């Protein structure tokens, strides 16, 4: 008798759970939505696959999506980035502040505008630090950054200086494009290193990126760049709606001050210029320590409040 009562109880519970689930999970889709109006925060996004039946380009180089392997690799990265909500929406917000700085530097060097999406892929346009020690929006390793002219020590880290790091990235990418002859390969070399890519091309007898079987990270890397470009250029197609006033603007107007000697205390320097130490760091993220020795009396341009 106890066994039968337990069985009936279990069956009733299971039926209730199935009924509850069916009321919340439609068979054809799962969607999350909130009421949208002019005053409330709102979002609507369907969890769905995307139609990639169109041509994709990077720096005027066509991506051969008629190749099933290429198509599926791109599809994976578009799905991954489209549904990686926090990182993607922050990149869209930051682009309004960061792209106007990157774009003219790329143009000055005669490089394709699409290379800015490499920075998105590297850091989501934040001064991030990777597990391997790469830093800044362009994610330079210490040795590579120093080779391309960035000052990196215990007091200064110009990998976090967007203008200077972009200049270094332009030189780096231009070098790889001259060496490999395509922007797809140049971008992949940026990720895995030129010498390794050169050896791989030789061993595998390849001529394009799509001929190669690379390490897991680099196999995905170039397709992540294409996916970031696609989603950031067409955010509404992927469920992202960010009003212009919600994007991050350039910081308020500032003045620049030249420093060519030691700074015993950046905190005191900040206070002298009517700002907090935190504000000084926000405007000058390349400042690493709380003081500056500057034995060689190098000139630094520091941003301060207007």
CA–CA distance, 10 with 20 (Å, rounded to integer): 15
Query: Average pLDDT of the chain?
Result: 89
User: Where are the alpha helices (H) located in the chain, listed in sequence order?
Assistant: 2-24, 68-82, 85-108, 116-123, 142-147, 162-180, 183-192, 194-204, 216-233, 266-272, 277-283
Per-residue model confidence (pLDDT) at position 41? 59
Separation of alpha carbons 24 and 31, rounded Å: 10
In a shared domain, residues 85 and 104: yes
CA distance 66 to 115: 24
- Domains of the chain: total: 3
Last residue of a domain, one of 200, 228, 246: 246
Q: In which domain, by residue range, is 29 found?
A: 2-46
The answer to whether residues 267 and 301 belong to one domain is yes
Task: Sort 183 into a burial class: Cβ within 10 Å, 0-12 / 13-18 / 19+.
Answer: buried
One domain, residues 162 and 80: yes
pLDDT digits (tens, 9 = 90+) for 195-221: 999 999 999 999 999 999 999 999 999
Least-confidence region, from 33-37, 60-64, 110-114, 244-248: 33-37
Name residues whose C-beta falls within 8 Å of residue 62's C-beta, 6 or more positions apart in sequence. 55, 56
Per-residue pLDDT averaged across 249-266, rounded?
93
* DSSP letter assigned to residue 249: P
Q: Are residues 164 and 265 in the same domain?
A: no
Say what the alpha-carbon torsion angle 16, 18, 24, 26 is, to the nearest 10 degrees.
Answer: -150
Kindly report the number of other CB atoms within 10 A of residue 175's CB atom: 14
Instruction: Find out whether 266 and 236 touch, Cβ atoms under 8 Å.
Output: no
Residues 62 and 40 in one domain: no
> In which residue are the tokens 């369907």 written?
46
Span 181-192, pLDDT tens digits? 999 999 999 999
72 and 41, same structural domain? no
Is there a single domain that holds both residue 115 and residue 215? yes
* Measured distance CA(16)–CA(85) in Å, rounded: 33
* Residue where one domain finishes, among candidates 198, 227, 246: 246
Residues 163, 18 share a domain: no
DSSP string across 31-93: EEE----SSS---EEEE------S-EEETTEEE-TTSHHHHHHHHHHHHHHHT-HHHHHHHHH
Q: Are residues 37 and 60 in the same domain?
A: no
Could you read off the pLDDT of 2-46 as tens digits, one per residue?
A: 444 454 444 444 444 444 444 433 333 333 343 444 445 565 667
**CA 109 and chain centroid, separation:** 21
């Amino acid at each position: 008798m106890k066994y039968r009562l337990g069985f009936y109880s279990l069956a009733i519970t299971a039926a209730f759970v199935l009924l509850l689930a069916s009321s919340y999970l439609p068979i054809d889709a799962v969607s999350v939505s909130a009421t949208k109006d002019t005053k409330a925060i709102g979002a609507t996004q369907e969890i769905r696959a995307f139609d990639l039946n169109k041509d994709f380009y990077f720096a005027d180089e066509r991506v051969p999506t008629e190749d099933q392997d290429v198509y599926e690799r791109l599809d994976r990265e578009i799905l991954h980035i489209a549904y990686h909500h926090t990182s993607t929406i922050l990149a869209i917000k930051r682009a309004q502040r960061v792209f106007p700085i990157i774009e003219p530097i790329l143009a000055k060097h005669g490089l394709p505008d699409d290379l800015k999406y490499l920075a998105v892929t590297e850091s989501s346009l934040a001064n991030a630090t990777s597990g391997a020690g790469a830093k800044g929006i362009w994610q330079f390793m210490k040795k590579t950054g120093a080779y391309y002219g960035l000052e990196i020590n215990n007091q200064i880290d110009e990998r976090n200086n967007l203008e200077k790091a972009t200049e270094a990235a332009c030189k780096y990418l231009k070098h790889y494009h001259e060496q490999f002859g395509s922007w797809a390969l140049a971008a992949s070399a940026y990720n895995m290193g030129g010498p390794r890519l050169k050896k791989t091309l030789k061993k595998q007898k390849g001529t394009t990126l799509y001929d190669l079987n690379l390490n897991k990270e680099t196999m995905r890397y170039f397709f992540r760049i294409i996916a970031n470009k696609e989603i950031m250029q067409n955010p509404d197609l992927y469920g992202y709606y960010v009003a212009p006033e919600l994007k991050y603007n350039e910081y308020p107007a500032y003045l620049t001050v030249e420093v060519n000697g030691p700074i015993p205390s950046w905190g005191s320097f900040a206070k002298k210029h009517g700002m907090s130490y935190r504000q000084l760091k926000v405007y000058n993220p390349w400042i690493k320590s709380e003081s500056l020795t500057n034995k060689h009396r190098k000139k630094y341009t520091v941003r301060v409040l207007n």
